[in-house]
Structure 1
Amino acid sequence: MKRGVAVVTFTLLIGVVASVVATTACAADAPRGRTVANANACMGCHAVDRKLVGPSFQQIATKYKGDAQAPAKLARKVKDGGSGVWGMIPMPAHQSMSDADVRAVVDWVLAGAPWK
């Protein structure tokens, strides 16, 4: 019986390790912009493919497609906040985000917020 318990315990341990490795691999495969967006509460107001409090990231990508000034405009909007473009609910400023992190999120959003 002890051998059976050891085999079950070992099998469960292997399953847990495999799950951790798979989760880590998925996080490593995530675009940097998505990782930064998740870490900075962007997903509290925005979703990739549907409107929440603010527009979806895909709606933003569509609106600014072909606009050469979009990266600079959106980076400024993330840093300073704003309102009026998508309705009356203001977007709060994100002054504490580094310029590199803001740019990573903006580039990811303008690329259509791809999953990978």
Structure 2
Amino acid sequence: MKFVNLLCVAALGAAAATPALASEEIIKKARCVACHAVDQKRVGPAYKEVAAKYKGHPEAEAMLISKVRHGGTGTWGQIPMPPHGTDKISDADLKAAVEWILKL
């Protein structure tokens, strides 16, 4: 019986870790990592900087999704972020990625 309980705990732990890993994989697959990293500035800001800047902002998720879709410049400097269409990252994947970033 202890073995069964241990398996259940392990499975729950793996299930809890899956969304974060899935979102990080989405970011890698969409090649966002070419310009961004979790904790260091590259061409664009670190994801942790983005999370800190928008912490508690009620419209952060929608605003960041729009920024990724349409691109822009000026928020983090003069290097523009190009738009990223649904051919690069689906709406569902983009939402999951932004949610993950905001939780960092």
Question: Quick one: percent identity of the two aligned structures?
Answer: 48
Give the Cα separation in 2 of the matches to 1:37 and 1:92: 15
Give 1:31 shift: 2.2
Runs of at least 5 residues in structure 2 that lack an aligned partner in the other structure? 1-13
The SS at the match of 1:31 is helix
TM-score by length of 2: 0.78
Larger mean Cα displacement after TM superposition, 53-62 or 28-37: 28-37
Tell me the equivalent position of 1:102. Answer: 94
Give the Cα separation in 2 of the matches to 1:32 and 1:106: 12
Letter in 2 for 1:108: W
Structure with higher Rg: it is 1
Give the Cα separation in 1 of the matches to 2:58 and 2:22: 22
Runs of at least 5 residues in structure 1 that lack an aligned partner in the other structure? 1-24
TM-score by length of 1: 0.70
Give 1:92 shift: 1.1
